Each structure stands twice: as C-alpha cells, then as structure tokens.
C-alpha cells in the first residue's frame, strides 16, 4: 500500500556548462509524496521502484517503522535490501521491534535510492513503514541564446595588467 499526497515547491540548483563554462542557475522542481507500506505474515516483502523513463532523481526518505495494534509480543526484524556505492545488492537489518519494549523506531529521514525492498525477516508483524518519496527534476529548457544572455550579464574576469620594470 503506497499512499500519495503531494507537496510542491520550486527551488534553484546551480548547473555547470553554460556559456564559457560559467555556472548558470537552472530551474529545479522538487515534489514530495507520502510513502507507506505494511509488512505482515501475509505480505513479507514490499519493493519500492521509481519510474526509470524519467530523468528525475528519486529518493525515499524513511521516517518511521512501527508495530500496529494487531502485533504480537515477538521480535519483528525488518531489513532493507538496496544497492551500495559499488552498485552491489546488500541486505541490512534496520529495526528489531517488540510490542512490549520497542514498538516503534524513528529513522529521521533515512535516505535510500530506489529500487528498495523491505522484508519482514522474522516475526509476523504487522509493521508499518512510513516516509517520503522525493522527486527532483532539473529543467533543461534553457536555450543557448538565454545562456549567452545570462553570461553577458556577468562581468568577465580580465587578466592583470603588467607593469614596467621597477626603478
């Protein structure tokens, strides 16, 4: 179950490669959607994937894992399967929840790059996982003429003038 409610904002990001290699601001759009899924004895895993066709950057920022009111007092281990910096798939346990001593865990926007799989490694849950799906899109709608106009507005750095020999 993935929930969606949009929060929209516009920001700016600096882009390199404008006229003469100058840094030119490029418009960036950032969308943020609620994310949620539930793991249980019936649904032991959930995979979050982003659309591969778009040129946007997708980030899944986890905020909390918690047991629901139907959970038994048993160890519920949740692991995340994702890719590391070398693009190798790794599985890492992120929570060991027990109703009587630790029914929830705050992850403070723990960020992951999709695709990400959540597994209920042990226990019967139900465990709810919540967070935000953030989509950052860099607009490349700036024409070469606009880049040149923006570069012309900036003062060029001129070389220092050489002085004659000192007396």
Number of other residues whose CB lies within 10 A of the CB of residue 126: 20
At 31-40, the pLDDT tens digits run 889 999 999 9
CATH architecture assignment, domain 28-138: Sandwich (2.60)
- pLDDT tier, 20 (very low <50, low <70, confident <90, very high otherwise): very low
At 99-122, the pLDDT tens digits run 999 999 999 999 998 999 999 999
Bridge partners of 11? 28
Distance CA 113, CA 151 (A): 35
At 116-164, the pLDDT tens digits run 999 999 999 999 999 999 998 877 655 555 556 655 556 666 667 777 6
Kindly give, in sequence order, each residue whose CB lies less than 8 Å from that of residue 40, ignoring residues fewer than 6 positions away. 120, 124, 125, 126, 127
**Rg for the chain, CA atoms, rounded:** 24
Instruction: Tell me the domain boundaries of the chain.
Output: 28-138
CA dist list (Å): 129 to 39, 57, 106, 122: 8, 22, 10, 16
């Amino acid at each position: 179950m993935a929930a969606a409610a949009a929060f929209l904002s516009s920001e700016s990001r600096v882009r390199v490669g404008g006229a003469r290699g100058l840094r030119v601001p490029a418009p960036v759009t950032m969308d943020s959607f609620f994310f949620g899924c539930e793991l249980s004895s019936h649904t032991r895993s959930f995979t979050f994937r982003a659309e591969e066709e778009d040129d946007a950057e997708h980030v899944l920022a986890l905020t909390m894992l918690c047991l629901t009111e139907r959970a038994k007092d048993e160890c519920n281990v949740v692991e995340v399967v994702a890719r590391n910096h070398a693009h190798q798939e790794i599985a890492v346990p992120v929570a060991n929840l027990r109703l009587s001593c630790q029914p929830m865990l705050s992850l403070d926007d723990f960020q992951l790059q999709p695709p990400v799989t959540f597994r209920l490694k042990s226990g019967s849950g139900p465990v709810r996982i919540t967070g935000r799906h953030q989509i950052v899109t860099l607009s490349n709608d700036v024409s070469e003429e606009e880049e040149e106009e923006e570069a012309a507005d900036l003062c060029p750095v001129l070389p220092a003038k050489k002085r004659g020999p000192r007396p």
